[in-house]
Amino acid sequence: MRTLGIREFLLPAPSKVILEFFKQPGYLLMQSLDTLGTTLAGFVLAVVLGVAAAIGIVYSRFLDRTLYSLLVAMNAVPKVALAPLFVIWLGTSAAPKIAIALLIAIFPILIDTVLGLRSTDPDMLDMARVNRASRAKILWKIRFPNAMPSLLAGMKVGISFALVGTIVGEFVAGETGLGHVILVAQGSFDTPTVFVALALLCILGVLLFKAIELAEERLLGWHASQRERPDAAV
């Protein structure tokens, strides 16, 4: 970057960034796996709790008027501001990082699942009730399949949010992970390592998003939303 007049400690050359990775590939890959594990733990919890809460909200007027309204209001609170509280409550283990990832990821999953469950065709629901289908059967055979496109759309947003939450947790409480690598490197003005960690984070984010996208294609091949996609036409 000398030709552009930029100091190397501010913006290192790409070759230096690549060389920095090969200086310590094992360490950086281990930190990447640590970040990946925390992200997946927070994301899985967000899916389980988000779907469970969405079902409760759709089937309970009380939860709809109380819990749903409260959660929507909480969504406006900057989650990063809550990170220090999780450190105080849960210590500096993996728990606060998972909790932050969960908190940031759960809202798009919850809201999209509620919208999906509520968008079921009323005629289908009436027909199921006429045939005396139980509420559980209506949920799993009609409502839930209908909500799958919305749920998976929320999951694609949620997995990216979970990664962001993990990095926030690693900045605040982490002793491992790519967020911790960035924090330590920034403190010593080790800019190449910062860029290596950022590149690895980008790769993780793309891979996680593509994994959900692949699951969406596999699970929703029957759905009109997939058949109508431009890349589905042959």
User: pLDDT tens across 26-68, in order?
Assistant: 999 999 999 999 999 999 999 999 999 999 999 888 888 888 8
- Residue type present at position 108: P
User: pLDDT tens across 133-144, in order?
Assistant: 888 888 888 888
What was the pLDDT predicted at 42?
A: 96
Q: What's the pLDDT band for 106 if we cut at 50, 70, 90? A: very high
pLDDT above 90 covers a percentage of the chain that reads 44
User: pLDDT tens across 148-201, in order?
Assistant: 999 999 999 999 999 999 999 999 887 889 999 999 988 888 888 999 999 999
3-state secondary structure of 161: helix
- Cβ atoms of residues 207 and 150 within 8 Å: no
Q: What's the pLDDT band for 224 if we cut at 50, 70, 90? A: very low
Ranges 117-131, 155-169, 210-224, most confident: 155-169
43: tokens are 């994301």
- Cβ atoms of residues 90 and 149 within 8 Å: no
- As a whole number of angstroms, the distance between CA 64 and CA 58 comes to 7
- The tally of CA atoms less than 13 A away on the side-chain side of residue 124 is 14
132: tokens are 């005396």
Rounded to 10°, the helix 83-90/144-172 angle is 80
- As a whole number of angstroms, the distance between CA 104 and CA 44 comes to 12
- As a whole number of angstroms, the distance between CA 55 and CA 107 comes to 14
Domains and CATH numbers, the chain: 20-219 (1.10.3720.10)
Which has more pLDDT, 3 or 216? 216
Q: What's the pLDDT band for 214 if we cut at 50, 70, 90? A: very high
Q: What's the pLDDT band for 113 if we cut at 50, 70, 90? A: very high
- As a whole number of angstroms, the distance between CA 131 and CA 147 comes to 22
- The tally of CA atoms less than 13 A away on the side-chain side of residue 167 is 18
What was the pLDDT predicted at 151?
A: 94
pLDDT above 70 covers a percentage of the chain that reads 90
Q: What's the pLDDT band for 130 if we cut at 50, 70, 90? A: confident
Q: Read off the pLDDT of each residue in 69-89 and give the average, rounded to a whole number.
A: 81
- Cβ atoms of residues 167 and 179 within 8 Å: yes
What was the pLDDT predicted at 108?
A: 92
* Average pLDDT score, the chain: 85
